[in-house]
Amino acid sequence: MLSELLRSLIQNWRLPVLVALAYFLFELPELFTGWPWYYEEINDKLTLAITLFTIATLASSWNILAGYAGQINLGHAAFFGIGSVVTRELWLTKDYPFNEAFFYGGGAAALAALIVGAPALRLKGIYFAIGTLALAEALRLTIGSMYPGVSRLPGPELRAYELTSRYELSLKVLVATVFVSYFLSRSKLGLGMKAIREDEAAARSIGINVFLHTLFAFVLSAFLAGLAGGAFAYYHYSYNQIYTFGPNWTFDALLVTFIGGPGTLAGPLIGSTFFVLVRDYLAGTSELVDTHLILFGVIFILVVLILPGGLVDLSTRISRWFLRRTRKVFR
Amino acid sequence: MLLEVEKVSKSFGGLQALNNVSFTVEAGKTIGLIGPNGSGKSTLFNVITGTIPTSSGTIRFEGKNITKLSAPRVSRRGIGRTFQTVRPFMHMSVLDNVKVACLYGHSSIQWQHIAERRAREILELVNLKDQARIPAADLNVMSRKWLEMARALATEPKLLLLDEFMAGLNPAEVLESVEFVKRLKDIGITVIVVEHIMKAIMSCSDRVIVLNAGQKIAEGLPADIVRDPVVIRAYLGPDYAET
For A184-236, write each residue's pLDDT tens digit. Answer: 998 999 999 999 999 999 999 999 999 999 999 999 999 999 999 999 999 99
Residue A11 pLDDT: 64
Judged against a pLDDT cut of 90, whether residue B237 lies above it is answered with no
The sign of the torsion formed by the CA atoms of B165, B168, B174, B180 equals negative
What is chain B's mean pLDDT, rounded? 91
Single-letter code of the amino acid located at B189: I
Rounded to 5 degrees, φ, ψ at B18 are -135, 135
Query: Which residues of chain A have a CB within 8 Å of the CB of B81?
Result: 205
Check if A199 contacts B (Cβ < 8 Å): yes
Residue A39 lies in a domain: no
Least confident of A17-26, A213-222, A282-291, B102-111: A282-291
B92 lies in the same domain as B205: no
How many domains does chain A fold into? Answer: 1
Query: Which residues of chain A have a CB within 8 Å of the CB of B110?
Result: 188
Chain A residue with Cα closest to B76: A207
Residue A237 pLDDT: 85
Judged against a pLDDT cut of 70, whether residue A126 lies above it is answered with yes
B101 lies in the same domain as B216: no
Residue B17 lies in a domain: yes
Query: Which residues of chain A have a CB within 8 Å of the CB of B150?
Result: none
How many Cβ pairs within 8 Å bridge chains A and B?
81
Residue B58 pLDDT: 95
- CATH code, domain with A132: 1.10.3470
B72 lies in the same domain as B162: yes
Residue B83 lies in a domain: no
Neighbouring-strand partners of residue B141:
none
Its ipTM equals 0.91
Residue A7 pLDDT: 62
Judged against a pLDDT cut of 60, whether residue A1 lies above it is answered with no
B162 lies in the same domain as B235: yes
Band of residue B152 on the pLDDT scale cut at 50, 70, 90: very high
SS3 B168: coil
Query: Which residues of chain A have a CB within 8 Å of the CB of B87?
Result: 199, 201-202
Chain A residue with Cα closest to B83: A202
Domain span at residue B207?
A: 1-78+158-243
User: At CA A213, angle to CA B120 and CA B132, rounded to 5?
Assistant: 15
Chain B residue with Cα closest to A193: B100
Chain A residue with Cα closest to B157: A206
Cβ separation A204–B71 shorter than 8 A: yes
| A283 or A146: which leads in pLDDT | A146
Share of chain B above pLDDT 70, in %: 98
Single-letter code of the amino acid located at B50: G
Domain span at residue A129?
A: 2-32+44-330
B241 lies in the same domain as B173: yes
Residue B217 lies in a domain: yes
Residue A37 lies in a domain: no
Check if A204 contacts B (Cβ < 8 Å): yes
B99 lies in the same domain as B212: no
B201 lies in the same domain as B141: no
Band of residue B163 on the pLDDT scale cut at 50, 70, 90: very high
User: Cβ neighbours of residue B69 under 8 Å, at least 6 residues apart?
Assistant: B50, B77
SS3 B208: strand
Residue A38 lies in a domain: no
Chain A residue with Cα closest to B81: A205
How many domains does chain B fold into? Answer: 2
Single-letter code of the amino acid located at B188: G
Residue A174 lies in a domain: yes
Residue B149 lies in a domain: yes
- What distance in Å separates residue A201's CA from the closest CA in chain B? 8
CA separation (Å) from A291 to A48, A302, A303, B47, B126? 19, 17, 18, 55, 55
Cβ separation B91–A192 shorter than 8 A: no
Least confident of A31-45, A132-146, A237-251, B151-165: A31-45
Among B157, B178, B209, give the residue marking a domain's end. Answer: B157
Q: State which H helix or E strand residue B18 sits in.
A: strand B15-25
User: At CA B150, angle to CA B144 and CA B153, rounded to 5?
Assistant: 145
B123 lies in the same domain as B241: no
Instruction: Give B235's DSSP letter.
Output: I
Q: Which residue of A195, A204, A210 is in closest CB contact with B89?
A: A195
Query: By CB neighbour count within 10 A (0-12 exposed, 13-18 middle, 19+ buried), where does A65 fall?
Result: buried
Cβ separation A191–B103 shorter than 8 A: yes
B74 lies in the same domain as B5: yes
B162 lies in the same domain as B73: yes
SS3 B40: coil
B-side interface with A, Cβ within 8 Å?
49, 51, 70-73, 75-76, 80-81, 83, 87-92, 96, 99-101, 103-106, 108, 110, 112, 151-152, 154-155
Secondary structure string (H, E, C) spanning chain A: CHHHHHHHHHHHCHHHHHHHHHHHHHHHHHHCCCCCCHHHHHHHHHHHHHHHHHHHHHHHHHHHHHHHCCCCCCCHHHHHHHHHHHHHHHHHHCCCCHHHHHHHHHHHHHHHHHHHHHHHCCCCHHHHHHHHHHHHHHHHHHHHHHCCCEEECCHHHHHCCCHHHHHHHHHHHHHHHHHHHHHHHCCHHHHHHHHHHHCHHHHHHCCCCHHHHHHHHHHHHHHHHHHHHHHHHHHCCEEEHHHHHCHHHHHHHHHHHHHHCCCCCHHHHHHHHHHHHHHHHHHCCHHHCCCHHHHHHHHHHHHHHHCCCHHHHHHHHHHHHHHHHHHHHHC
Q: Which of A205, A208, A212, A316 to mutate to test the interface with B (most CBs of B within 10 A)?
A: A205
SS3 B89: coil
Residue A9 pLDDT: 61
Among B157, B173, B189, give the residue marking a domain's end. Answer: B157
Rounded to 5 degrees, φ, ψ at B216 are -80, 120
Judged against a pLDDT cut of 80, whether residue B139 lies above it is answered with yes
Least confident of A299-308, A315-324, B55-64, B138-147: A315-324
- CATH code, domain with B181: 3.40.50.300
- What distance in Å separates residue A82's CA from the closest CA in chain B? 34
B13 lies in the same domain as B109: no
Give the pairing type, strands B56-61 and B3-12. antiparallel
For B190-199, write each residue's pLDDT tens digit. Answer: 999 998 888 8
Residue B222 lies in a domain: yes
SS3 B180: helix
Judged against a pLDDT cut of 60, whether residue A306 lies above it is answered with yes
Residue B27 pLDDT: 94
- What distance in Å separates residue B238's CA from the closest CA in chain A? 38
Among B157, B173, B191, give the residue marking a domain's end. Answer: B157
For A6-37, write each residue's pLDDT tens digit. Answer: 665 666 677 888 888 888 888 877 777 767 66
Judged against a pLDDT cut of 90, whether residue B21 lies above it is answered with yes
Max CA-CA distance within chain B?
Answer: 56
For A129-174, write each residue's pLDDT tens digit. Answer: 999 999 899 999 998 888 888 888 888 878 888 888 999 999 999 9
Share of chain A above pLDDT 70, in %: 92
Residue B235 pLDDT: 75
B111 lies in the same domain as B54: no
Check if A66 contacts B (Cβ < 8 Å): no
- What distance in Å separates residue A192's CA from the closest CA in chain B? 6
